[in-house]
Structure 1
Amino acid sequence: MALPVAQPAEVLRAWQKDDLYEKQLADYIARLLPSHHAAKSVPISSILYKSFTTLKDLQTLGEEYSGIVQVNDSYYKLPSFSSRLLSIFLSAFGENFTRKLLRNAEKSIEKNGSLRPEAQNVFLVLLKALTSMIPQIISIHRALCYMNGGPIEIGKSMTGIDYVHVRPAAAAYYAHLRLLGVVTLIHSFMSCGQSFYQAKKYMDQMREIPNEVDSSKSCVACLEEMTQPCVLPCGHIFCMQCCYGALETCALCRSQFMKNNVVPLMNYYPGEFK
């Protein structure tokens, strides 16, 4: 007899516990690394934590707390070693790897002399919009998990990993979690729409003034002309509205930062030192 599929609330509870333990481990690792390599503590902690649990066919601390176990799409067997290894890689490096692919695609388009300038601008802006929507794509996946169940991490979904409940009685489906999923989904789609709107607005500006628009003077987070530039601890520069607003990690290198570490640049104008 097959075990019951894990309820979304149990999967979420396990993910929250594991995320807490990984962040604590990342803090310890960051203290051992030089300051300019501190950002690497996050993927290192994720790999170490999952290598000693998931990769060895053991429950993580969060999964043990919630009483759930990883299974493959048959719901009868544990995931294969290759599936678990790939899910760990995607969890640790998937987002950064995707961003690098998009940046490489931007560079390829910039160097492609066979494309017309108008088409080149369209592709570049769409790629920038897609890059800015990566957090929203993650949120959409998470919202669907709140509503329909399944693993919170995209890497597990891509490798066919799911969860079953191993305790005698499965937890009830919480109505408020479904509501949270709906609200998260609406907010994510609105954010994606805003990114496309900003991309279209930027394309219209380039179409109207094709020789005067300088992308080096635009904030890569909101795709608008940079006003009141601020620098993050990692060295990347964004407009003040983004730094003190929606951004929680650097849009370029994904380094986490605190709002009180943002430094306004009073006499700096983007592009003036080119």
Structure 2
Amino acid sequence: MALPTAQPAEVLRAWQKDDSYEKQLAESLARLMPSHIASKAVPLSSILYKSFTTLKDLQTLGEEYSGIVQVDETYHKLPSFSARLLSILLSCVGENLTRRLLRHAEKSVENNSTLRSDAQNAFILILKAINTMLPQIESIHRALSYINGGPLQIGKTIAGIDYVHVRPAAAAYYAHLRLLGIVTLLHAFISCGQSLYQAKKHMDQLRDIPADVDSSKSCVACLEEMAQPCVLPCGHVFCMNCSYGPLESCALCRTPFTKNSVVPLMNYYPGTL
């Protein structure tokens, strides 16, 4: 007979315990590591903790405390080694890897000369919006776990890992978790909506630039009056704050540039030529 599926309260309790142990391990590692690499203690502690437990087909301390065990999608067998390894990698470096891939995609779009500028702007804004919504996507997954059960980490869901009880469990907090899941879900959807609204608003501003902005007197990047104009290697002119600030590629032709290649224009006043 198959073991009962783990309830959300027990999964949450196990995750909280494991998170606490990982933080303690990270603090100990940070004291042993040189200061310039101490920030690596958090992902390293997570990898070590999961490698000596989950990867070896053992319960974590949190899972043992809650009386739950990881199983595959059949609920009859322990997860395969590849599934456990995939879940660990996604849990430890999945978000950072996703952000790197999104930034790489942005750079590829910026350097793609075959795309029209409006299409480039649209793709870049979509990628930036997805990057901004990554924490909300994680919150949505966690909220669904509170409501329907299942692992809290997206990596375990992708790897096809779930939990079952191996001893009687207390279900006193399940109703509270359902309410918490609904509130978390609503908050995450509102945050995603705000990110999409800001992206659409920025896209509308870029679309209206040719009609509303006199590029001879205003900076196309910040839409403000040109102050201390600078010319980029591609020949386009922007204000100094944008040229030496957030811009990494020309906002008009998407040509990448370095800050030391920006040339300030002395005694030049936009609109006089």
Give the shorter-chain TM-score range: 0.7 to 0.9
> Which residue of 1 is the match for residue 64 of structure 2?
64
Percentage identity across paired residues of the two chains = 72
SS at match of 2:69: strand
Question: In structure 2, which of residues 208, 214, 221 is the aligned counterpart of residue 214 of structure 1?
Answer: 221
Deviation of 1:170 after TM superposition, in Å, equals: 5.9
> Which residue of 2 is the match for residue 272 of structure 1?
244
- The reply on whether 1:182 has 2:154 as its aligned counterpart is no
1:1-274 equivalent positions in 2, closer than 5 A:
1-169=1-169, 171-172=171-172, 174-209=174-209, 212-214=219-221, 271-272=243-244, 274=259
Deviation of 1:42 after TM superposition, in Å, equals: 1.3
Deviation of 1:2 after TM superposition, in Å, equals: 0.6
Deviation of 1:168 after TM superposition, in Å, equals: 3.5
Cα 1:117–1:269 change in 2 (3 A) is closer
| CA–CA distance in structure 1, aligned partners of residues 165 and 139 of structure 2 | 24
- Conserved 8 A contact 2:69-2:163: yes
Deviations 1:167-218 (A, max 9, x none): 0356356211000000000000000000001101111222222663438x9x
- Conserved 8 A contact 1:69-1:166: yes
Divergent runs of 4+, >6 A: none
- Conserved 8 A contact 1:151-1:163: yes
Cα 1:170–1:80 change in 2 (3 A) is farther
User: In the alignment, residue 85 of structure 1 is paired with which amino acid?
Assistant: L
| CA–CA distance in structure 2, aligned partners of residues 9 and 269 of structure 1 | 51
Unpaired stretches in structure 1, ≥5 consecutive residues: 218-267
- Conserved 8 A contact 1:6-1:170: no
| CA–CA distance in structure 2, aligned partners of residues 169 and 43 of structure 1 | 31
- Conserved 8 A contact 1:4-1:170: no
Most deviating of 20-29 and 60-69: 20-29
> Which residue of 2 is the match for residue 256 of structure 1?
none
- Conserved 8 A contact 2:14-2:65: yes
> Which residue of 1 is the match for residue 266 of structure 2?
none
Relative to the length of structure 1, the TM-score reads: 0.77
Cα 1:27–1:169 change in 2 (3 A) is closer
Cα 1:169–1:179 change in 2 (3 A) is closer
Relative to the length of structure 2, the TM-score reads: 0.77
Deviation of 1:29 after TM superposition, in Å, equals: 1.4
RMSD, aligned α-carbons = 1.9
- Conserved 8 A contact 2:67-2:169: no
Deviation of 1:8 after TM superposition, in Å, equals: 0.3
Unpaired stretches in structure 2, ≥5 consecutive residues: 224-239, 246-258, 260-273
- Conserved 8 A contact 1:136-1:191: yes
Cα 1:169–1:108 change in 2 (3 A) is closer
Deviations 1:142-167 (A, max 9, x none): 00000000000100000000000000
SS at match of 2:163: strand
User: In the alignment, residue 244 of structure 2 is paired with which amino acid?
Assistant: E
| CA–CA distance in structure 2, aligned partners of residues 272 and 2 of structure 1 | 63
Deviation of 1:269 after TM superposition, in Å, equals: 5.3
| CA–CA distance in structure 1, aligned partners of residues 42 and 62 of structure 2 | 18
| CA–CA distance in structure 2, aligned partners of residues 270 and 18 of structure 1 | 45
Which of the pair has more CA radius of gyration? 2
